[in-house]
Amino acid sequence: MMRHFCTYFDSRYLPRGLALHESMRQHCPEFTLWVLCLDPTAHRILTELAFREIRPISFEEFLEGDEALQAERGNRSVVEFYFTCTPSLPLYILRERPEVEMITYLDADLYFFSSLEPIYEEMGERSIAITPHRYPPELKHNDIYGLYNVGWLSFRRDEIGIACLNWWRDRCLEWCYDREEDGKFADQKYLDHWPALFSSVCVLHHPGVNVAAWNLSGSKICHHNGSITVDGHPLIFYHFHGIHQIGHAMYEMAFKSYRVRPTRVLRCHVLSPYLWRVRELEKRASGRGSLISEAARIRFLRGGAGSSGPAWRRAVGRIKSCFATIGGVVFGDYFLYLGRRIL
């Protein structure tokens, strides 16, 4: 069965989007991935690569004729405007492509490790599928950012699916900011209302769906005969949220903020393969003029520490930076990537 997906990213996030696409190729036999390109470079590179499954959409094409969405472009930050666009993207696909009976929105920093079909089996004939954050008790205070995560959202082309998307779009046009305020947060907190407002909502409970740093606590991840399991169930996809490259071989990850330390299995069989693919795809994309990585490279000496002033002050700055980096590695803030492995 043909599956239809959509996502968005710019050229700086392109390697992650390409990694997502590669993982889908391995675990979803027939699919189309509609990509809203947030800058011309991403659109050009995806057009040149001409993958059979990817359909690039230029940002100008997406916004054309949508006066309500365009009107909010100057009222929000760039990231907040991207969040505002999220519900409009699946609506755009359903409007422009009448053959699409169901569309699934994916965050671009997902990566699949096994078949997607258990998700569709759990969803069944229902109109909407959403994924809970599954915060452990010690992280329940994060519920202010939403009970559900925007990482995977499925909508059928039926009365309920379309009504939900239109309601979500209207709310995001009214208010969509990167802060928690009056029970709202970006495009995400609105999902809390869906099970009460709309019938036929499936809350996905498969333990291998949307595994991330925020729900690792208490989960048992195992590797056996090439397969990865979470609490005895196949790992379907991992959400690589909060990973930032801060040097050639060093990454900052979100584990400490969620009070977990990655196990050997997670480092060797989840994190390391993903970073290896992203780094390889960065090289490939850079040859085509990509801006590389999710953001401009952050200098190893953060904020240009010790980059000006007397020689002794620069030396002190470098020493402090080195000790801060060593401390970050020891206490789990930073992770070294050497020999195709996270240490």
Contact 99, 55 (CB under 8 A): no
pLDDT band for position 305 (cuts 50, 70, 90)? very low
- Alpha-carbon distance of 339 to 272, in angstroms, equals 10
State the distance between the two ends of the chain, measured CA to CA, in whole angstroms: 40
pLDDT band for position 316 (cuts 50, 70, 90)? low
pLDDT of residue 107: 98
Contact 125, 161 (CB under 8 A): no
- Alpha-carbon distance of 319 to 132, in angstroms, equals 43
253 vs 307, more confident? 253
Neighbours of 220 (CB within 10 A): 12
- Alpha-carbon distance of 207 to 193, in angstroms, equals 23
Flag whether pLDDT at 338 surpasses 90: no
Burial track 20-38 (b if 16+ CB lie within 10 A, e otherwise): bbebbeeebeebbbbbbbb
Task: Give tens-digit pLDDT for 85-103.
Answer: 999 999 999 999 999 999 9
Contact 265, 222 (CB under 8 A): yes
Flag whether pLDDT at 290 surpasses 60: no
pLDDT of residue 110: 98
pLDDT of residue 197: 98
Task: Give tens-digit pLDDT for 169-191.
Answer: 999 999 999 999 999 999 999 99
This prediction's pTM: 0.88
pLDDT of residue 266: 94
Beta strands in 60-186 (DSSP E): 102-106, 110-112, 128-132, 148-156, 180-181, 184-185
- Alpha-carbon distance of 209 to 227, in angstroms, equals 15
pLDDT of residue 251: 86
pLDDT of residue 88: 98
Contact 207, 236 (CB under 8 A): no
- Alpha-carbon distance of 255 to 257, in angstroms, equals 6
Q: What is the largest CA-CA distance in the chain?
A: 69
pLDDT of residue 314: 64
Tokens matching residue 196: 């009460």
Query: What mean pLDDT is reported for the chain?
Result: 89
